[in-house]
Structure 1
Amino acid sequence: MLTANSLTLPMLLAALPRLVAGRTALRRRLRDELARLFGVDARRIVLTDTGRAALALLLRAHGVGAGDEVIVPAYTCVVVPNQIPALGATVRWLDVSAATLGFDWSRLDAAIGPATRAVIVPHNFGPACRVPDALRLRHPRVVFLDDAAHGFASQCDGQWLGTYHDGAFFSFEYSKNLSGGIGGFALLPEGLVAEEPPAELGALDQLRLLATLTGHLLAARCALAGRVWLALARRVGLIYRSSDAEVADGVAHPPRALPALSAALLLPQLAALPALLRHKQRLAEHYRAALSAVPGLTLWPGAPGAHWVRYPFALPQPVADKAALARRLSAACGLAIGVWFDDVIHPAGSFRHGYLAGSAPEGERLAATVLNLPMNVAIACDAALDARLARLAAALAAYLKETAA
């Protein structure tokens, strides 16, 4: 079941009347609001139907093409590297650091070679980082693009993620910090120009998006009702989903414009962003307090200005079947335990883009040990949550005792 971090069923229903404003007006307003938040000219905001479409747009705008190499973290979603071969460029995998969930800067510095044209900088689970200025100065030909899909509204040293490198791509997919069902945008650096995709989401796909969103949000209120709705939608062909070829064959996503429904959903979430971020901070505090009581778990500190899209924790030893363990823990505590990322190229079984097993040992270990907790706006920070977390801590302690025997 998908998780809509910042979206509820009443919010979806309230968005429908706003559609009468029309897609052009809704997009313009959203673009203006995003520009106001980031403190940039609205022309630097390019709306798309997905974060990966925004990445492709950025790569093209920077002139990445045949003969170029793009460094990609070996702990990411397959849709990120998918965009690179379509431009004639080559994916080069680089291991991440288990200490930060992102790049080790000295390792990145050593990996950049004559063919390197771009680096995808990860901000996994949300906290923002910054490439050292000295490293960027040593490689003036290389552009550093922020994968900010997890990191909307995070800051690093008081600056918004996406404003201090050579551009960033963000996602508004179901599970992200702001949820439009689908959607994304590119934040361009000053002086770079790019146009929004001209293609629109077809009428049937827009209906599928509405039906799919309704089912998942209904499930958040009543699991049985949501399952029934989605089963019926699946039977009549009204489930919105990505192409299987993106996962199985590494095919690039065809870029399209942001749907009007997504814009209508995102605008009120932006208006409520300060309250949303405060809620996420409180959730993170509850999670950290509960998980800190379980010996052997690894937790990552959240720097000031960091906002988790999901709250990660790592087990001390690799898990043969993380999905099964997540189901067991979810049943014990009533919270939806996630498995991001379940492979260095998520989801497991995705097209490998030349990745060789064993070449990113830290990323592989993270994929085998990290689970995560939801950061949903619908989860109240109350005694009931603390009781759930106590059950989770007990279930984790029991599992660790079993596996240590």
Structure 2
Amino acid sequence: MSVLLHYYRGRVALHAILKGLGAGPGDEIVIQAYTCAAVVEPLLRLGVRPVYADISRDTFGIDPAGLSALLTPRTRAIVAQHTFGIPAPMAAITEIGRSAGVPVVEDCAHMTPGTVTPGGSVASFWSYEWGKPVVAGVGGTAVVHDPGLAAEMRSRYHRYTSPPPLREAMMAAEYLAYRVAAGTGMLWRLRSLYRQLSGLGVVTGSYAPDPVNSPEYGWRMSRTVRWRLPNRIDAGRMQAHHRRRVTGQDLPYVPHRIPVIVGDKQRVLREAAKAGLEVGDWFTTPVHPLAGPDLAAAGYTPGSCPNAEWAAAHVVTLPVRPETRHADIQHAVALLSRIEASVDA
């Protein structure tokens, strides 16, 4: 039976999992390129070296074909990411890990809780922040399937404390603002304002300014998020069937974002915004949103993952929400096609 442990954020849950596996300085963790800097943060805090695997253009998850060559005696774990809610090829990944004696951890941040069958991983982690399939506020959960790892993590869990009262109050206000904005349909237009305010420290930012010393990695999930989480997950499960069918097909998984390949990504994003169409830009780099020296500091070598770099340059995404209709997706794709045609003209 799996053990659930709730942490301040999804990345804090990942940090706890990797720490429970004994990861530390001198070790390596394989993660995919075409990911978020939040996945790299816990690795940098632990002092381990990220080893980037290239992706498949079909699933936008790790391509198993090149995975074995990345494993060394220093590899402590493989983190398999279910990008945009599209399942990674877990059978192949876990078989490669099993053959090498390397455990696999599932990144389920883009998945709807309760819709994923453990794919042979020792643990998975989830996130409930803004932009995720289930939004409950800032928070994350580790779902631990391996009994030994679960015992190790439970023995450490008492060291985690609740966030300070001021942070609790800030997050409660942010969740209320999110609900109001989401109800008006204006949420996506406020992204740039959110990024500016998080940079000023007015709201809870997506990335820790100093992950190595951030106190967030010693916090549990806040009380208010823990209180509302069961209802939010129940609602997400009830909406899963609709989200499966929103593309016009009865998919075997629940999509979070629909990836669309374009030629000139930046122009498409600008023209879509002018037309009032919500289009996601992530991931904009192999380790979103890092570029230049920051990308190098995250351990990524340009040219090492060509499929990830191609996706960062040519993939935009359309949201799939409970209120999204098949006609909305058709309209969005048609509009993107017209924008693409104007780019080529």
Q: Normalization by structure 2: what TM-score? A: 0.84
Q: How does 1:2-401 map to 2 (within 5 A)?
A: 40-41=1-2, 44-128=3-87, 129-132=89-92, 134-140=95-101, 142-153=102-113, 160-162=116-118, 164-188=120-144, 189-192=146-149, 193=151, 194-195=153-154, 196=157, 198-222=160-184, 239-243=203-207, 245=209, 254-285=217-248, 304=252, 306-315=253-262, 317-319=263-265, 321=266, 325-332=268-275, 334-349=276-291, 350-352=294-296, 353-377=298-322, 379-381=323-325, 386=327, 388-389=328-329, 391-401=331-341
SS in 2 for 1:83: helix
RMSD of Structure 2 on Structure 1 (CA): 3.0
Cα distance per residue 1:158-181 (max 9 Å; x no partner) = xx3446212111111122121111
Amino acid at match of 2:311: L
2:60 alignment partner, SS class: coil
Whole-Å separation in 2 of the counterparts to 1:220 and 1:273:
15
On the 8 A contact 1:335/1:373 being kept in 2, the answer is no
Is the CA contact (8 Å cut-off) linking 2:33 and 2:286 kept in structure 1?
yes
* 3-state secondary structure, aligned to 2:17: helix
Change (3 A) 1:348 1:66: closer
Q: Which SS does the other structure have where 1:218 is aligned?
A: helix
Cα distance, 1:365 vs structure 2: 0.7
Q: What CA distance in whole angstroms lies between the structure 1 residues aligned with 2:271 and 2:212?
A: 32
TM superposition shift of 1:391:
4.3
Kindly tell me the number of residue pairs found equivalent between the two proteins.
328
Contact in 2 for aligned 1:329/1:392 (Cα 8 Å): no
Give yes or no for contact 1:126–1:154 (8 Å, CA) kept in 2.
no
Q: What is the CA-CA distance between 1:59 and the residue it aligns to?
A: 0.5
Letter in 2 for 1:112: L
Contact 1:173 1:183 in 2 (8 A): yes
Q: What's the CA shift for 1:260? A: 1.6
> What is the Cα deviation at residue 330 of structure 1?
4.1
With over 3 angstroms needed to count, the CA separation of the structure-2 counterparts of 1:303 and 1:107, relative to structure 1, is farther
Identical amino acids, percent of aligned pairs? 25
Instruction: Give, in angstroms, the shift of residue 218 of structure 1.
Output: 1.6
Judging changes above 3 Å, is the alpha-carbon distance between structure 1 residues 224 and 191 closer, same or farther for their aligned structure 2 residues? closer
2: distance between equivalents of 1:55 and 1:361? 26
Q: What code does the residue aligned with 2:316 have? A: L
Residues in 1 aligned to 2:201 and 2:83: alpha-carbon distance in whole angstroms: 33
TM-score, with normalisation over the residues of structure 1?
0.72
CA–CA distance in 2 between the matches of 1:356 and 1:267? 41
Give 1:318 shift: 4.8
SS in 2 for 1:125: helix
- The alignment partner of 1:191 has SS state of helix
2:174 touches 2:203 (CA, 8 Å); kept in 1?
yes
| Offset at residue 282 of structure 1 (A) | 2.9
The alpha-carbon deviation at position 259 of structure 1 amounts to 1.0
For structure 1, which runs of at least 5 residues remain unmatched after alignment?
Answer: 1-39, 289-301
* Contact 1:340–1:367, Cα closer than 8 Å, also in 2: yes
The aligned residue for residue 404 of structure 1 is 344
Q: Which has the larger displacement, 85-94 or 345-354?
A: 345-354
2 CA distance for matches of 1:346 and 1:95? 15
Aligned residues of 1:330 and 1:336 also touching (Cα < 8 A): yes
Structure 1 pair 390–123 and aligned structure 2 pair: CA distance change class (3 A): closer
Letter in 2 for 1:98: R
- Deviation string 1:30-70 (CA, Å, 9 cap, x unpaired) is xxxxxxxxxx34xx111111110000000011111122111
Give, in whole Å, the separation in 1 of the partners of 2:4 and 2:106.
14
Aligned-partner Cα distance in 1 for 2:185–2:241: 27
SS at match of 1:272: helix
| Alignment-mate amino acid for residue 358 of structure 1 | G
Residue 265 and residue 57 in structure 1: after superposition, are their counterparts in 2 closer, same or farther (change >3 A)? Answer: same
The alpha-carbon deviation at position 250 of structure 1 amounts to 7.5
Segment of structure 1 superposing worse, 44-53 or 306-315 = 306-315
**Structure 1 contact 103–122 (Cα < 8 Å) conserved:** yes
- The separation in 2 between residues aligned to 1:359 and 1:102, in whole angstroms, is 16
Per-residue CA deviation, residues 183-239 of structure 1 (Å, 9 max, x unaligned), is: 111111222221335221111112211222222322233368996xx89xx699752
